[in-house]
Structure 1
């Protein structure tokens, strides 16, 4: 499931993030991937030890903690701290699949079920730079407004096309979901959306709503891993 999640960051938060990134020190993005990834990756990233990366990553995760659509779709168990990249002057990242298991700071591991890209530059600030996700239904292009996020399966083949004008700025990170399987997450998301829609209608039969809510939680109880 690919999902566009709008308005993760407010205009004031975006201004703050952009100001911090404009004065940050960037490094070659190939330093953060293995040998295969380095062959197709041409961008800049904030260093792993950057205090700017740490502070802005906390800001993003705090914002997502209050975003109901994100929680309904991702059912997050844990997330890797966001990283930040910059594409300009032809920078790109060819087709690749994200690593399946990633190390967590301080020990432990995260299974990458879902990938997230949070766009931090407006589409008219740069040419190219589309995030292309290739799945069983074909290629899907995304070039979202600043502050919006794309959520997609980490198992998907994906790329960032070359940026030929301006600079594309984004944050990216991975999530281990409570529910491992994509099909089950999609069913739970669709059911949750339907329940919320019915809840908003004053004439909804409450016994039916209660029954559907029970189905949702019992499926989540059966499928979740903690």
Structure 2
């Protein structure tokens, strides 16, 4: 598949990297990126040799949420908005159900649905200068399917606060609430990610414990594809 919004690095081995590749737009999620992410993760799910996936981003920002122009289109068409939100829910469920663990390498700012992508990953690492904002800009036209994943990662109380206030969190505050596992110096992010990936490649434990720990199929809201409360 020829991707317009992503780059996929996978030479057939045990590790694959998915790069969000709309740096001129802050790697904002739009209909094309949503479709391509779903296709990319679905394709990786069929690779028996895969033991780890890194989700990373080109440019200074990780993902600034859903694209404003796309949200404008969705706001004008409630059926299109519902389809897009359902597609986002399906993507996040596919990510967490992937047989190989997914590691988010957050090198820059992350907002809204971008934070949802991070929350759906098994492990999340962030550069110390990265900032997080949980709601989308112009929240009245925002996608919402990612919110249960924020609640699962950061806890319902913390997620509620930061969604309501739209306060910006530092990477270290994101670590305190559980949205990311580690916040490290920017120049150490690649090295720390490599160390985590090396441990994953050796352990291969998601295939062992996935049904009991990571596979949330029995805990999912069947209508939305989101974690049940």
Q: TM-score range by the shorter chain?
A: under 0.3
Relative contact order (C-alpha < 8 Å, sep 6+): which is higher? 1
Instruction: Give the greater-gyration-radius structure (CA).
Output: 1
Greater fraction strand: 1
Q: Give me the TM-score of the superposition, normalised by structure 2.
A: 0.26
